[in-house]
Amino acid sequence: MSVFVVDRHHQPLMPCSEKRARLLLARKRAVVHRHVPFVIRLTDRKREQSEVQPVALKLDPGSKTSGMALVRVEQRGEGEVHHALHLAHLSHRGEQVHQALLQRRGYRRRRRTVNLRYRAARFANRRRKAGWLPPSLRSRIGNVLTWATRLQSWAPLTRIEVERVKFDMHLMQHPEVSGIAYQRGELVGWEIRAYLLEKFVRRCVYCGKQNVPFEIDHVRPRSRGGSHRVSNLVLSCHACNQAKGDLTAAEFGHAEVQKQARVPLKDAAAVNATRFALVEALRALGLPVGTWSGGRTRWNRDRFGVEKEHCLDALCVGDVVGITRGRSQMLLIQAQGRGSYQRTNVDGSGFPVGYFTRAKRMRGFATGDLVRAEVPQLPKPLKTEGTHVGRVAVRASGSFRVGKCDGINAKYCVVLQRADGYAYGQAPCPKP
C-alpha cells in the first residue's frame, strides 16, 4: 500500500512506497501528518518544485460495501494502463441508520400523536424536495463523498471514474420476461389478502388449520430485514404467528416455507436509488467524472483474471488495457458515526438503564480516538503493563479501554489521531 505525501503547505504530491516514507522520516525530511491511512508531510518541498503524474479515483458503489481504488494512469499506444496505488473497502452503516430511525419513531410515537384530535393534518400539505432520499441512502452517498474529498486532499487527483450500475429487478426474478409482462406482476388482478388465501388454499402454512381467522405473516421478519414483498408473505393462524415471533420460517422448523420466499432485492434497490445522486455529488468536487457500466467491469475482470472483491472491481472500472496491483494490502474502512444524540441507554422495553455524560470528551480524549498507552512497570504489577495502541473508549472515572485492553488510566494515554467517524483495519488482497 502506497503512502500519501503532502508538501509543507498541505498540497498533495505523488504517493510513495513504504520504504521511501521510512527513509524520509528517518532523515527528518518528513513528519507524520496522519496515521490511518498513513500520510506524511514533507518539510522541505513545495508543490511547484515537484512533478506529479495523472492519478484517478475509481469507485464501485455498493449497498453494504463500496470499493475504492486509487491508480496511477500510464498512457500507452494501445490505451491506458492503471497501476494501483491504494485499495480500500468502505463499509456503510445504512442499515444501522434505518434501525435507529425506527427506534426513535417508537420512542416519540406518543409525543407526536397525543392531543392532536382536532389539529389539521400536516402530512396532507407537505411535499418532499426534488431529489429527496431517505437518511439511510444519504448515509451511503455521504460516506463515498467524504472519502473522495479526503483522497483529493492527499493525492493529485485528475479525474474520478464510477461504475454506475442499473439493476433490472424484474429480470433478476424472471429471466424470460419481456414486453407487456413487465407491467404484469405477481399480483395482477388480485388484492394481497385474496391472493394469499388462494395461494395457500385457506390453510395456515405452519400447522395446516382451516376455518380460523388468518393473519399475514412475514417469512423473513421485518425486524430482521424482511420486506412487504408478496413472496415474503404467508397465511398463518394467530397461535403460530405468536409462536414464530421474530424467527425466520426455517428457524421455526418450516424450511419448505422458507424456500418459496425469493431473495430480497433491497440492496439492488438501494444502489438503483443512489446511482444518479452519487454522480452529481462527486461532480461538485470539480473533477471530471466518468461513468461506466457493470458489464464492462465484469469483462475487464475476466480479461485480466482478477478475483471478485469490491476494491478489485473498482480497479477494473473503465476503459483500460491493463492493470497492475503488486502485492498490496487493502484498507478496511467501517463507518461508525460520531456518537449518539440519545442521552439515555435503555433496555429492550425502553426503560433507562444508564446515562451518557454531558461532556463528550473526558480528560482530553473522546471515544473513537486512536491512542497509544504506555503503562510502566510498577512495584505492584498491573495486568495492563506494556504498550497498547488502538481505539479508545472513555469513561468519566478516567479508566479507559484501549483496543482489547481495559482499565488503563488516562494519564498513560497519548492521542495519535482524533476520531473521524470511521474504524480502520487492513487485510491482504487476494493473490492473482
Mean of the per-residue pLDDT values of the chain: 89
Which range has the top average pLDDT, 167-171, 175-179, 213-217?
213-217
Query: Region 362-385: what's the mean pLDDT?
Result: 90
Contact status, residue 184 vs residue 216, Cβ threshold 8 Å: no
**Domain parsing of the chain, residue ranges:** 3-93+133-168+268-335, 179-259, 356-419
User: Rounded to a whole number, what is the distance in angstroms from the first to the last CA of the chain?
Assistant: 16
- β strands within 336-429, DSSP E: 344-346, 352-355, 370-375, 386-393, 399-402, 405-409, 413-417, 422-428
Q: What pLDDT is stored for residue 188 in this prediction?
A: 47
Statement: residue 181 has pLDDT above 60? no
Residues in the chain: 432
Q: Which fold has domain 179-259?
A: DNA Binding (I), subunit A (1.10.30)
**What's this model's pTM, rounded to 2 decimal places?**
0.84
* CATH number assigned to the domain with residue range 3-93+133-168+268-335, chosen from the 4 options 3.20.20.70, 3.20.20.370, 3.30.420.10, 3.30.450.80: 3.30.420.10
Exposed/middle/buried for residue 429 (C-beta within 10 Å: 0-12, 13-18, 19+): buried
DSSP H or E run through 242? helix 238-244
Q: What pLDDT is stored for residue 432 in this prediction?
A: 65
Q: What pLDDT is stored for residue 259 in this prediction?
A: 83
Closest CA to 157 of 54, 8, 286: 54
Lowest mean pLDDT among 105-114, 134-143, 182-191, 270-279: 182-191
Calculate what percentage of the chain has a pLDDT beyond 90.
65
Pairing of strands 370-375, 413-417: antiparallel
Which range has the top average pLDDT, 35-39, 180-184, 192-196, 326-330?
35-39
pLDDT one-digit tens code per residue, 85-121:
999 999 999 999 999 998 888 888 888 888 888 888 7
Lowest mean pLDDT among 105-114, 281-290, 418-427: 105-114
Q: What pLDDT is stored for residue 313 in this prediction?
A: 95
Query: Region 14-30: what's the mean pLDDT?
Result: 97
Q: What pLDDT is stored for residue 189 in this prediction?
A: 45
Statement: residue 300 has pLDDT above 80? yes
pLDDT one-digit tens code per residue, 307-357:
999 999 999 999 999 999 877 789 999 999 998 888 888 887 778 888 888
User: pLDDT category, 175, cuts 50, 70, 90?
Assistant: low
User: Distance between CA atoms of 287 and 289, rounded to whole angstroms?
Assistant: 6
